[in-house]
Homo-oligomer: A and B are copies of this chain.
Amino acid sequence: MNEVFADRVVMGSEDRLAEMFGGSLGEDGIKFSAGNPNAELFPIMQMKKAFNKAIEKSGSQIFEYQTVSGFENLRRRLAQWAGQTADIKAVADNILITQGGQQALDLIGKLLLNAGDEVVVEAPTYVGALSAFDQYDPYYYDVAMEDDGINLEQLESVLQAHPNIKLLYTVPDFHNPTGVTLSLNKRKKLVELAEKYDFFILEDTPYRDLRYKGTKLPSIKSFDRHGHVLFVSSFSKILMPGLRVGWVVADKEIIDRLRKLKTSSDLETPGIVLAALDQYMEDNDLRKHIEGMLQTYRSRLDAMLAVLDETMPADVHYTRPEGGFFIWLTLPEIIDAQKLLSEICIPKDRISFVPGKVFYAHRNKKNGMRLNFSGVNEERINVGITKLAKSIRTAIKANEVGALL
């Protein structure tokens, strides 16, 4: 029946996200492949109270149809939050609440992209964004990541060569998958380029508030003068992913159009979840909750960097993030991380990571891997990375003697 499906389905690129979640390690396997926050830090009791209070306050009203934009009180709070945490001037009308950050990416793709439209992504970039945009069949130009974010010279030559580029997608803070943070200077420059070449910047910031060291930077959106930047964030990493609540901050004109697309896509996000979240933020200090998590995540980051420094061979490189969930490790070019994973690390070491290929729009690089440190404790980080280093050495050696992995 294949021929009856739409082109967007037959091309099959919507499998990108599904690909990441496969593979079973057994119970005591060590999973560096996840992108999950540490569930032990979830404020379950407070959230339970918040659900109860929300139901008691609103009664049946909260289970009726709500508004498409999402609970107004919460939108007002999120506008304040954008001011406090990202230096963005916003009011409730600048906010659309979405079904997690993923829906924000989907709706922005739906809003902007005709088949064949040109999009710039980082190389590597967040696979969920590729998965969302793929549905609208764009053409991707990828631009290399450096230690301070996207390579601007390369970007500008792409923009000069392709004046119709509509959208640039970036994760400026503790980038997924590399952990890299975009420098202050590059943030300003990106907005100038967006103005000069007239494209939108989708600034995706789920990790923004999870900084463990170094100095906080203003958001790209804070430099935006003419509505070129669409700012997206989410409660998934700073609170709990299962709530499935994200949001977009943008000019009212854009929000109005995104809201219409959301109406056609799923009508609205469950009011009870938004009311409970609003109640949680009323009764608790979300910033304090986040601060409480920083120490745990900082120790895990430091532990992973220390054991990497100690165990990895000289021709293996890795990033030194100041926040977020991920370290990006680059193997010698001859090593295929996917093979390393499926032939050695999963069956023998019982450790997992995400092989890099999936993070490239054109799937043309095989020697990177994403390591998650936020979901694994220090002891297991030490054990797992030590095993990984040993297997990498074995693989390099095997390649040197001609048995290509």
| Segment at the interface with B among A12-20, A185-193, A282-290 | A12-20
Q: Is A340 an interface residue (CB 8 A)?
A: no
Known contacts: A63-B241, A135-B110, A243-B63. The answer to whether A263 contacts B6 by CB under 8 A is no
- A136 surroundings in chain B (CB, below 8 A): 6
Docked-complex contact B266 and A102, CB < 8 angstroms: yes
Interface presence of A22 (CB below 8 A) = no
Contact pattern, A 52-87, Cβ under 8 Å of B = 1, otherwise 0: 100110011111111010000000000000000000
> Across the interface, which residues of B come within 8 angstroms of A241, CB to CB?
63-65
> Is the Cβ of B64 less than 8 Å from the Cβ of A99?
no
Majority secondary structure of chain A interface residues (helix, strand, loop or mixed): helix
A182 to chain B, nearest CB (A): 24
How many copies the complex holds: the figure is: 2
Minimal Cβ-Cβ distance residue in B for A272: B242
Cβ-defined contact, B266 with A6, below 8 A: no
Tell me the complex Cα distance, A296–B315, Å. Answer: 75
A154 close to chain B: CB less than 8 A: no
A162 within 8 A of B: no
In the complex, what residues of B have CB within 8 A of residue A63's CB?
A: 39, 42, 44, 47, 240-243
- The interface residues of chain B lying within 8 Å CB-to-CB of A42 are 60, 63
B residues in contact with A52, CB < 8 Å:
48, 51-52
> Which of B4, B40, B102 meets A166, CB within 8 Å?
B4
Decide yes or no whether A261 CB sits under 8 A from chain B: yes
* Chain B residues, Cβ within 8 Å of A51: 51-52, 55, 272
Chain B residue nearest in CB terms to A271: B242
Q: Which residues from chain B contact A166 at a C-beta distance below 8 Å?
A: 4
Assembly CA distance A92 to B96 (angstroms)? 33
Given A39-B60, A55-B44, verify A113-B6 contact (CB < 8 Å): yes
Residues of the B chain whose Cβ atoms lie less than 8 Å from the Cβ of A66: 242
Contact B99 A266 (CB under 8 A): yes
Q: How far is the CB of A12 from chain B (nearest CB, A)?
A: 8
How far apart sit A242 and B112, CA to CA, in the bound complex (Å)?
29
Given A9-B257, A114-B7, A134-B264, A242:B62 Cβ within 8 A: yes
12 contacts between A and B (CB under 8 A): A4-B112, A6-B113, A8-B110, A14-B260, A14-B264, A16-B264, A17-B264, A42-B63, A51-B51, A100-B266, A135-B265, A244-B269
